Chain A
């Protein structure tokens, strides 16, 4: 019940059905506090569905999600940021016609002033400074005043991470943050993720196994909606079943 337990978040028997189709079948997994855990598996394995359940986008059909000893199954999405859980989506998800700075400032504002109809926005200098600092952190310093829709793909992904960091999350969830990125952009992003993981628990969903082997402390492998394996990078590398799944698919 206390934050001293070793797992920050835990899925217990999570099942998710879309109509008759079972996308997740009775998945139980724990995520150690302060570490970087990667959720891997081939396309269609159910990674995003699992990500959505633990990040509160929708509740599971059956099973529970326990965060810091509290059952958070069915907690509305908007409450997650205040619990200290933040995420970036698999598909880029920003406020396209707002500036990069305003995107992050809005995310910060969600922690303090959700129904303030009176204070002029010009007085929110502290929030703007915090937002600028977060943009610096993700390497978007010089893009503050640009509209999000005009940023390059990799920059938009970085912006999303800055927005996720706005609530100073204890748990950061990232769904394929390097999807669609060039090799150079991918390197920059992976570097950012490792830096972030020094200070908080990170769960990284990724289908490219090679990419996460070197940086994660712990791995969870999903296949056809089921938990296939769980363990350290070495355990996973030596696991025959994991090899078969990945080789069978023809990618690493």
Chain B
């Protein structure tokens, strides 16, 4: 398992300027990500990419709490993304809940989903945990699929529209003003990033590292490892649920594919590509993945094959991911 290398103390000062810069960024990791995301729409090759990076970066970030920091592979995180998206959408479409409280409903529902799934899966270990979470997420898929009245079944949920957002001084037209929409979503993401960093940097965050390093020793020290894992799973689910909720509002629809295991696979690939257990990895991974996907789709119809090959190359030769390898390189 890789250690979280963006931790300030972990990055050795090599005397080079680059290392100093990275150290500075790591010290202010929340500000660094937020500032980057603020300017990103201007750097992005095309605007539609920006919101996707925001949403999927947040999804991979939440996933990384379990995968990278706790050291446990879940293959069921689609359930949390999907639960967040559906609960937000259903609250708005069927119960007339305004969009902001609806987001909270979405986040809470994904937390609840994670609590139930976690309670059933957390005793299993290693590959069995991956299998059980995968199976449980498939159950969520079928439940939602068959709640056709509310979820729209195979066609997905439509009509999750937010037309305008009124701030008193300014009004953002969510349909016509993609930049305005982006910054509204960024506001939510920024709060999530702040909370995420705070959790990692807390005593609880230290327990996650300890469990990843040596579960047995953590238990002997006096930590209830099962309960800690479960709490982590739920926290992780909350972040992924927010990503799903934002996605529902962004697209105005919730496709059933959000609950598909392919969606769980996206989180795994993005976290691995960017660097598991690193703070910036998930956003870098989401960006790299989405850009690659778009580029390759334009070039060939066999894009999945090429994407798969690139992914394999990373797993085999750069298991630290893009950001993890970079940190390793500068701290030699």
Binding site for B on A (CB under 8 A): 76-82, 86-87, 89, 93-98, 102, 105-107, 109-111, 113-121, 124, 163, 166-167
A contact residues around B207 at 8 Å (CB): 106, 109, 114
Q: Which residue of A lies closest to B204 (CB)?
A: A117
A contact residues around B198 at 8 Å (CB): 117-118, 120
Q: Which residue of B lies closest to A115 (CB)?
A: B204
Measured CA separation A39–B205 after assembly (Å): 38
CB pair B235 A93 closer than 8 Å: no
Measured CA separation A215–B294 after assembly (Å): 72
B contact residues around A124 at 8 Å (CB): 203
Binding site for A on B (CB under 8 A): 3, 198-199, 201-207, 209-210, 213-214, 216-225, 228, 231, 235
CB pair B224 A121 closer than 8 Å: no
CB pair B202 A120 closer than 8 Å: yes
CB pair A109 B220 closer than 8 Å: no
Q: A117-B235, A118-B198, A121-B201 are in contact. Are A167 and B222 (CB under 8 A)?
A: yes
B contact residues around A116 at 8 Å (CB): 202-204
CB pair A121 B203 closer than 8 Å: yes
CB pair A94 B202 closer than 8 Å: no
7 nearest A-B residue pairs (beta carbon):
A81-B222, A110-B222, A95-B213, A113-B203, A117-B204, A110-B221, A116-B203
CB pair B222 A82 closer than 8 Å: yes
Q: Which residue of B lies closest to A86 (CB)?
A: B220
B contact residues around A97 at 8 Å (CB): 3, 213
Q: Which residue of B lies closest to A167 (CB)?
A: B222
Q: A78-B224, A98-B209, A98-B213 are in contact. Are A119 and B203 (CB under 8 A)?
A: yes
User: Would you give 8 A-B contacts (Cβ < 8 Å), ordered by A?
Assistant: A76-B224, A77-B220, A78-B222, A97-B3, A98-B209, A114-B222, A115-B228, A117-B235
Q: Which residue of B lies closest to A96 (CB)?
A: B213
A contact residues around B219 at 8 Å (CB): 77-78
Measured CA separation A114–B218 after assembly (Å): 11
CB pair A80 B222 closer than 8 Å: yes
Give the one of B3, B205, B210 with max A CB within 10 A.
B210
B contact residues around A115 at 8 Å (CB): 204, 228, 231
Measured CA separation A79–B218 after assembly (Å): 12
CB pair B202 A95 closer than 8 Å: no
Measured CA separation A79–B213 after assembly (Å): 20
A contact residues around B209 at 8 Å (CB): 95, 98
Measured CA separation A98–B211 after assembly (Å): 12
Measured CA separation A78–B218 after assembly (Å): 8
Measured CA separation A109–B210 after assembly (Å): 11
Measured CA separation A167–B205 after assembly (Å): 20
Q: A116-B203, A117-B199 are in contact. Are A81 and B213 (CB under 8 A)?
A: no
A contact residues around B202 at 8 Å (CB): 116-121
B contact residues around A80 at 8 Å (CB): 220, 222
Query: What's the minimum C-beta distance from A156 to chain B, rounded to whole angstroms?
Result: 12
Measured CA separation A117–B209 after assembly (Å): 13
Q: Which residue of A lies closest to B199 (CB)?
A: A117
CB pair B214 A94 closer than 8 Å: yes
Instruction: Please pick, from B199, B217, B231, the residue contacting A94 in the complex, using a CB distance under 8 A.
Output: B217
A contact residues around B213 at 8 Å (CB): 95-98
CB pair B3 A114 closer than 8 Å: no
Q: Which residue of A lies closest to B3 (CB)?
A: A97
Q: Which residue of B lies closest to A104 (CB)?
A: B221
B contact residues around A87 at 8 Å (CB): 220
CB pair B216 A114 closer than 8 Å: no
Query: What's the minimum C-beta distance from A121 to chain B, rounded to whole angstroms?
Result: 6
